[in-house]
Structure 1
Amino acid sequence: MSEQNKPFVVTDRRKFTAEGELRPDAPPSEERERHDPPAAEAPVAAEPTASTPPQEAAPKEELPPLTEEQINQARTAYQATADRLDTAIRATNPGMEHPPAMSFEQIVHSVYMTAIMQLGGATPEGQQPQVDLMGARQSIDMLSVLAEKTKGNLNPDESRLLENALFELHMGFLEITQALARSAAAKAQGSGPAPGRPSIVR
């Protein structure tokens, strides 16, 4: 019989019936036979002995030290590129002033405003505040790290600015979390959250 006229046979290799029961003529699981090693060949972990030292964690990879020349070259190239960017921006925006140089006060103010927005402080009046508690906590912790790492290296005005920013954010964080707790308690009692109460976004 030619190859073209040979009948073909369809073999039902499904293991389960339409009702979800195992078919009696179902073929054995080849996948398991292929991958499951025999019990005798299963690897056995060697028990530690007095002569076997405990396995130590791999040492943390350290960053290679930079030379002063590399640092200066990177700083010079960055400054030149930033200056060209400023020139291009002012050329397309006549009358625009040179952007102020970054300062410690600007860094504190930037992180502070980010945390305020994450706590719902920038919500338009009449809308329900959307609060990002985890993001706000991270921003507040960033200022805490900044305060710790700059301790003893700030002038009185910078220290006062950072202390006030952290105080206001700590109090704001407590106020929002307490409001959310009250809102959750009211919702559990079936009364639902009061209008204007903050809602958590993550």
Structure 2
Amino acid sequence: MPEQNKPFVITDRRKFTADGTPRPDADPTPERERPVAVVPEPAPEPVAAAPEPPPAPEPQAAEDPNDPGMPPPPTPEQMEQSRLAYQSTAERIDIAIRSANPGMDHPPAMSFDQIVQSVYMQAILQLGGGAQQGEQPQVDLLGARQSIDMLGILAEKCAGNLSAQEDLLLNSAIFELRLAFLEITQALARSAQARAGAPGAPAGGPPPRPSIVR
């Protein structure tokens, strides 16, 4: 059976007439307010804070052996273990060297005299004492000065703890090296003046080698 056509009804939902007066048949339902779009205000730009001045460096105190920042000293047990391990390794090296060189003598043990003589010969070489006859000596004044000062510190720290022979050896080495140092520096100064053509200066030439007292 065909569906009957339903009438098309138009409902006037206006609340006011054309002249602006309220209509008596207006729908009492309040009209929904349209949402108003709220435009967010731009956030204020952050103001950069003034950089704080770096803290003033604290005055450094003198080094204190009890300072907690310093590493702890080795214990007597650790010192003894390191000594034994060192001696064992050194002996194995000596055995290997003598095995590769039959008939080689055992190297002498280090002594105070050998320490002084080693630094002494190093200073002599730094003052040009190792140059061959007729060669220009190669002088290292700064190195020689350090070697001489090293013996001076050794004499200062060992004062009262040396035998008469050790004290004589050390003081003699320091005395000879200081004289050789003065002789070489004066010879270099005269040679520089001669090359510069200074009046009254002697003819230039290689500085004399220091005498080595044996």
- Which residue type is aligned with residue 78 of structure 2? Q
Max Rg structure? 2
Q: Following superposition of structure 1 onto structure 2, how do residues 99-118 of structure 1 map, counting pairs within 5 Å?
A: 99-118=107-126
* Aligned pairs, number: 155
Are 2:205 and 1:195 equivalent residues in the alignment?
Answer: yes
- Which residue type is aligned with residue 119 of structure 2? V
Q: Which has the higher helix share?
A: 1
Q: Does the Cα contact within 8 Å between 2:191 and 2:206 map onto a contact in 1?
A: no
Are 2:77 and 1:69 equivalent residues in the alignment?
Answer: yes
Q: How far off is 1:144 after superposition?
A: 0.6
> Runs ≥4 in structure 1, deviation > 2 angstroms?
40-48, 54-63, 190-198
- Counterpart in the other structure of 2:179: 171
In structure 1, the gaps of 5 or more residues are 1-39, 49-53
- Counterpart in the other structure of 1:130: 138
Q: Distance in 2 between matches of 1:103 and 1:187?
A: 46
Q: How far off is 1:195 after superposition?
A: 3.0
Q: Does the Cα contact within 8 Å between 1:126 and 1:196 map onto a contact in 2?
A: no
Q: Does the Cα contact within 8 Å between 1:143 and 1:166 map onto a contact in 2?
A: yes
State the secondary structure of the residue aligned to 2:73: coil
Higher relative contact order structure (alpha carbons within 8 Å, sequence separation ≥ 6): 1
- Report the identity percentage: 59
TM-score (norm 1): 0.69
Change (3 A) 1:45 1:156: same
- Which residue type is aligned with residue 127 of structure 2? L
- Which residue type is aligned with residue 82 of structure 1? A
1:89 alignment partner, one of 83, 93, 97: 97
1:153 alignment partner, one of 135, 158, 161: 161
1:57 alignment partner, one of 56, 60, 72: 60
State the secondary structure of the residue aligned to 2:87: helix
TM-score (norm 2): 0.65
Deviations 1:159-199 (A, max 9, x none): 0000100000000000000011111111221799723336x
Q: Distance in 2 between matches of 1:70 and 1:47?
A: 42
In structure 2, the gaps of 5 or more residues are 1-47, 64-68, 209-214
RMSD: 2.7
Q: Distance in 2 between matches of 1:138 and 1:75?
A: 29
